[in-house]
Structure 1
């Protein structure tokens, strides 16, 4: 029996004495997304160097600030007015940016080719998987990749003596949340792209986020009107969360930062499931 999104199948259980059970449409299922994560893991098991390359970029930034720019700016004011070295100020922000980059790469480039050329999702919909499963599976893999980057980067931070408080370990869940938010939104964008040349728009959005979300300098350096704009950027909230935990300075504003990312992730998951339902039905 074939189950489609446009119809509800009715199945007669054995020994039911004629009682019919209503089966939910596959678009509402959320228990089979792990199969897409397993598929991605098998595919990338032959391309593990891609993961290694993703770790090196922020690592090079961190080393450059440690031996170069950090000599020019030895100390800066961190969260809560604390004084810290410049490399300690930048490191948790780079960790959040690394999670963003890893998630965006998988959720845009990878999804685009599976959707437009490989027809992976059309094949998936011929199984009991639905659009919501596909969305969760692809986003889940992007989140896993972002988490792996975060763990590797946190290990480098520890080796460089930049982990000074037990609260710092929470930068890893923050990186997971950042990955989730950007992967869900990135996947929505991937379903809107029609040609590979339009990936320039993705880079046009990611690069300003990387440079202007207080990654390299505090919010106080901006003029007042620009501060409001920066505070609307999603990476800004991830950077502030990561930097606060890394410094061991906690305040109630962190709840707002986390809520922003959670809402963004939820909106992205809903949006991509609706897009896939519309485009693949």
Structure 2
């Protein structure tokens, strides 16, 4: 800790930049101002869930009979898929914002170098960028939930918790995605991000239950972060509770904490060295 004495009788203590926390709102404010002229981006994100659910309602929903949902109760295929699509939407939005945008700010625009010339520290940058991803994901989650409600896919009062869970999923993936973005050297390496995200979207029980997999593959699928978000949302959507939900929640919380720690350490190392 450094002690400065700007004038006689006054002591000013300055913390190491890596410990700054409390100015993350300024990073969020910057993102809001940057996107204020691109509001059509948010409108497109609102229509995405509508197109998805309509496609399943009109198309796949008529080809597939009722399926067995959480707790063994039958439910329509659209109602089975809808919570999974909400979780996937939270993941995709968070990964997009925390990788592509962060990479270009970090490597080309040098936005974070300019921020660190102010009282903002690396932890503030990490919290601010992740908070913006969560805020944007929250808008999409509310829109998605409203579409589900309008289509009659909400059958339990507990389904209102889908939005907070979507925020947690967005936070966890944004933190991990931002950490990964600090390791990328060129835009071509974004293919590695898609190589991780696409299998999770397709195989994390998004479109079918875990029981369709052989026993060995079930263990692999249960390691996917998105699987835990989908299972948590699917059970909340019908008001079914069990002990396994605590494990799903703990997994996402641990992932969020690990990602936040990782990105703050990476930014401190890369921007302050």
| Alignment TM-score, normalising by the size of structure 1 | 0.93
**What residue ranges of structure 1 are gaps of 5+ in the alignment?**
1-7
1:218-242 residue CA offsets vs partner (Å, 9 max, x unmatched): 0011110000000000000000111
- Gap change, CA 1:212 and 1:55, over 3 Å in 2: farther
Could you tell me how far apart the structure 2 residues matched to 1:169 and 1:128 are?
39
Q: Secondary structure at the match of 1:193?
A: coil
Q: Which residue of 1 aligns with 2:266?
A: 275
Q: Is structure 2 residue 169 aligned with structure 1 residue 148?
A: no
Q: Which residue of 2 aligns with 1:11?
A: 4
Contact 2:49 2:147 in 1 (8 A): no
Could you tell me how far apart the structure 2 residues matched to 1:118 and 1:21 are?
32
Q: Secondary structure at the match of 2:241?
A: coil
Could you tell me how far apart the structure 1 residues matched to 2:232 and 2:142 are?
16
Q: Mean alpha-carbon deviation: is it higher for 215-224 or for 44-53?
A: 44-53
**Alignment coverage as a number of residue pairs:** 272
Counting only pairs closer than 5 Å after superposition, residues 205-244 of structure 1 correspond to structure 2 as 205-244=196-235
Q: Is structure 2 residue 77 aligned with structure 1 residue 79?
A: no
Counting only pairs closer than 5 Å after superposition, residues 120-269 of structure 1 correspond to structure 2 as 120-269=111-260
Q: Is structure 2 residue 7 aligned with structure 1 residue 36?
A: no
**Among 73, 83, 89, the residue aligned to 1:92:** 83
1:93-152 residue CA offsets vs partner (Å, 9 max, x unmatched): 100111111111100000000001110000000001111110000001011111111000
Considering only aligned residues, what root-mean-square deviation do their CA atoms show, in Å? Answer: 1.4
Q: Secondary structure at the match of 1:268?
A: helix
Contact 2:21 2:124 in 1 (8 A): yes
Could you tell me how far apart the structure 2 residues matched to 1:54 and 1:184 are?
21
The list of structure 1 runs, each at least 4 consecutive aligned residues, that deviate by more than 6 angstroms after superposition, is: none
1:249 Cα deviation from its structure 2 partner: 0.5
Could you tell me how far apart the structure 2 residues matched to 1:232 and 1:78 are?
21
Could you tell me how far apart the structure 1 residues matched to 2:55 and 2:245 are?
29
Contact 1:27 1:129 in 2 (8 A): no
Could you tell me how far apart the structure 2 residues matched to 1:51 and 1:197 are?
26
Contact 1:165 1:248 in 2 (8 A): yes
Could you tell me how far apart the structure 2 residues matched to 1:133 and 1:85 are?
44
**What residue ranges of structure 2 are gaps of 5+ in the alignment?**
none
1:49 Cα deviation from its structure 2 partner: 1.6
Contact 1:147 1:176 in 2 (8 A): yes
Could you tell me how far apart the structure 1 residues matched to 2:47 and 2:200 are?
19
